[in-house]
Amino acid sequence: MPRGDLFSPLDPYQTGRLRVSDLHTLYWEQCGNPNGMPVVFLHGGPGAGASPTHRRFFDPTFYRIVILDQRGSGRSTPLGEVRENDIPHLVADLELLRGQLGIQRWMVFGGSWGSTLALAYAQAHPERVIGLVLRGIFLMRKREIDWFLYEMRTIFPEAWANFAGYIPPSEQHDLLEAYWKRLSDPNPAVRMQAARIWSVYEGACSTLLPSPELVSASGEDTHALGLARIEAHYFRNNRLTPESKLLDDVHRIRHIPAVIVQGRYDIVCPIRTADELHRAWPEADYIVVPDAGHSAMEPGVRAALVQATERFKTLA
């Protein structure tokens, strides 16, 4: 029967660390039913890392839930590392982890940046994907990045003023490079301050109604440093070629069952992008939550995501 809320908290039955290069080691965990349908959860950011709440989108009696922190994120090491960190590496990491865990095919669940990575992975390895659940669509295009850096002030001028105001007026014409300069500063205190301001800006713009709890969590050191450094790095260095690549290659995955969930008032990843994806992929179910912003924890978004994972039990 369809659910509208998260499943009960649960602990992993297995955790591990996967060495993917001489530099990077990834944290991963498995929860739920060891013999169930495999599903991999891809966190956002890039760089945000996963949390225990993310286990709860899936029925633990049915799903074998695989969660990892991507390169430079969360519990993976080194935190905030941008070398050897790009989309092809992350896609290869997923294949390496899938093989290590002995999984032939799995469902892929990703929101925000996680939707970007989910699409890139599925298009590279469609034979490995049972189904896709995507939220808050982001396609790594210049206009989406520029929107984040400059145009979110249209709706959240106060949050943007705090974000831009950290940078001297002489550098505000290029906020990305100005932030990158500080996020790369040799002084850890400078890096941390810039990271916290960047991360809190994103958190403040992620919900329909103000969420002091989310803003507070956004300022936590590990989350903020991983998110800000990796996000700025990707915005600077990981534009797709061509920019429309994820839309152009939808033909590779149109046969895969998919659900796209989008908050109508998502300001971080505006609905225009999700609409473009759905128009390129009409076979995917498209759910617009009428009273939600960007966060996966918005009540309507959360309910739609859980209902999608419940419905996808029929794919087993």
Q: Which residues are catalytic?
A: 112, 266, 294
Q: Three-state DSSP class for 232? A: helix
Residue 79: half-sphere exposure toward Cβ, Cα within 13 Å: 17
**Token duo for residue 117:** 């990575």
What is the separation of C-alpha 143 from the centre of its chain, rounded to a whole number of angstroms? 18
Quote the strand ranges of the chain, DSSP E: 14-19, 25-32, 37-42, 63-68, 106-111, 129-135, 258-263, 285-289
CA distance 69 to 90: 10
Q: Which amino acid is at 120?
A: A
Q: By the 8 A CB rule, do 236 and 176 touch?
A: yes
What distance in Å separates the CA atoms of residue 75 and residue 83, rounded to the nearest whole number? Answer: 17
Query: How far is 117 from 123, CA to CA, in rounded Å?
Result: 10
